[in-house]
Amino acid sequence: MKLDLPPHCQILLNGLTNPACLTRYCDSDWELLIRMARRVKLLGRLGLLVKEYGTWDQVPPRVSTQLTSGLVQVEKLQQLNRWELNRVLWALNDFDTSIIALKGIAYSLAAIPHASGRLSVDLDLLVHQSDLADIESLLVVKGWKHRPLSAYDEHYYRVWSHEIPPLVHAERETEVDIHHTLIPLTNRVKIDPKLLFDAAIPVKNSTIRLLSPVDMVIHCAVNLFQNNELANDLRDLLDLHDLMVFFSERTPDFWTWLIDRSNQLKLSKTVFYGLYFSQLIFNTPVPGKALVRLHARPGRLKLWIMHRLVPLALFPQHPDKPMLSASLARLLMYLRSHLIRMPLYILLPHLIYKSLRKIRFKSRKSRS
């Protein structure tokens, strides 16, 4: 099956994958490209690509100022992330435990190409569940606080989630998300975190660890196709592409390992989607036989439906002319993400609570 994208999405995709074509972009293409790249958190990435490709001086001035702004923002957020990690490790210095960095900060530490152009807001860490209570209280003693939460949200985090309520230091603004596993506990699919810790890799001159390359790729796919709602998540699919290109070039048996590990963790269907869409959208060089070796794959009808819906959800809407089909795709993906995350007896009350709260919030705001 071929990728069939509306023209505005094609402008974004070409800009991200083929910097050479940017020299042919007219003012209105550039304007639309900037607006959409910003929408999916890829303005900094675009700026980095233009710099690397050496065509910065040919970019219209009203575009280069916006690319600069995007790069400054990305750089600032990454610095905040690094410092937050530094302070977390400082606070836990006397506590003997192993901590794994996840997502954005992990991609920087692993020196994945283009990681410096990634917009990363929160700091995500994985710890042993048995150390969780100690780590949480040590951080609270050293000045981190939970944001105020409703009783329901607190319950949701503590009982069903794969992370504890986010912590923010009183004198800084970066949110620290501490995970004890990678998939919500309500999910049918489970992961044994011990396997991840056993394979984790130390970072030079630091006590922090990283997931092994295949686990990092699997986590990225899991996050996108199990935990997220896919709307505007193009950046995360691009992460997946970056990781696979980087690791497959450095490790000869990477694809074999990836498939074996996915089968072992019983995550082959999720990884299938990751490989399939990364290849479909970004032309990731996934060997044909890799997909076939995955134990679980979606059926033909299901894949056909996902093939139609996923790109519409991942790419941003046209900022001036939102498409109904894309809105519908997003709604369906939203429901799907919740259905795989929790059984109906939890899901229905959860969605009702969330929509009620939204209405109450709105009417409170309009009254004040």
Partner 1 sequence: MTEKRSHLQTETARQSLKASMDNIHKHKRRKLLKGTVAVPVVMTLYSGAALARTSNITGEADSIENAVFKDTINGPQLLCVFPDPMQTQIPGGPYDLGQFPQATLIQEPKIDLTASAETVLTSKMQQLEECHARGGIMISAVAYTSIMSKTGININPTW
Partner 2 sequence: MVVNQIPFEEFHMLLHRQGLRVAIGPFNVCIHTSYKPLIEQLYLLYSHYRITQDEIAEFHVRIVTERSLRNPFKRNIRFLLDGQSPFESFPQEQALAVLEWGINLAIAVRVNHLLLLHSAVVEKNGHVILFPAWPGSGKTTLCTVLSYQGFRLFSDEFGLMDTQQQLFLPIPRLMPLKNESIAVIRNYLPDIVMGRPIPNTQKGTVAHVRPPEKSILLSKHTCKARWIIFPKWIADTPVKIEAISDSEAFMMLASNAFNYEALGATGFCAVADLIRSCDCFKLVYSDFDSVMEVLHQLTNET
Partner 3 sequence: MHWRTNHFETLLIENWDEEYTVFQPDSGKTHFLNHMSMKMLIYLDQKPATLEEISAYLAVQFQQEPDHDFQRNIEKVLYHFDTLGLVKKSFVGS
8 A C-beta contact, residue 121 and residue 175: yes
**Quick one: angle between helices 7-17 and 43-53, nearest 10?**
50
Query: How big is the CA angle at 123 (ends 117 and 127), to the nearest 5 degrees?
Result: 135
Q: For partner 3, give the closer residue by CB, 10 or 79.
A: 79
Query: How big is the CA angle at 122 (ends 73 and 249), to the nearest 5 degrees?
Result: 80
The type of residue at 195 is: L
| Integer Cα distance of 5 and 17 in angstroms | 15
171 is a contact residue toward partner 1 (CB under 8 A): yes
Residues 113-152 that bind partner 3 (CB under 8 A): 142-143
350 is a contact residue toward partner 3 (CB under 8 A): no
307 makes contact, choosing from partner 3, partner 1, partner 2, none, with CB < 5 to 8 Å by partner type, with none
155 is a contact residue toward partner 3 (CB under 8 A): no
Stretch in the footprint of partner 1 (CB under 8 A) among 120-128, 129-137, 149-157, 164-172: 164-172
363 is a contact residue toward partner 2 (CB under 8 A): yes
18 is a contact residue toward partner 3 (CB under 8 A): no
User: From start to end of the chain, where are the E strands?
Assistant: 99-102, 123-126, 144-146, 167-169, 175-179, 201-202, 208-210
**H-assigned helices in 192-343:** 193-199, 213-222, 234-250, 254-264, 268-282, 288-293, 300-314, 324-341
x/- map, 72-111, partner 3, by CB under 8 A = ----x--xx-xx--xx--x---------------------
The type of residue at 280 is: L
173 is a contact residue toward partner 1 (CB under 8 A): yes
CB of 201 to partner 3, least distance (A): 24
Q: Which of 4, 18, 52, 72 binds partner 2 (CB under 8 A)?
A: 72
170 makes contact, choosing from partner 2, partner 1, partner 3, none, with CB < 5 to 8 Å by partner type, with partner 1
Interacting residues with partner 1 (CB under 8 A): 170-173
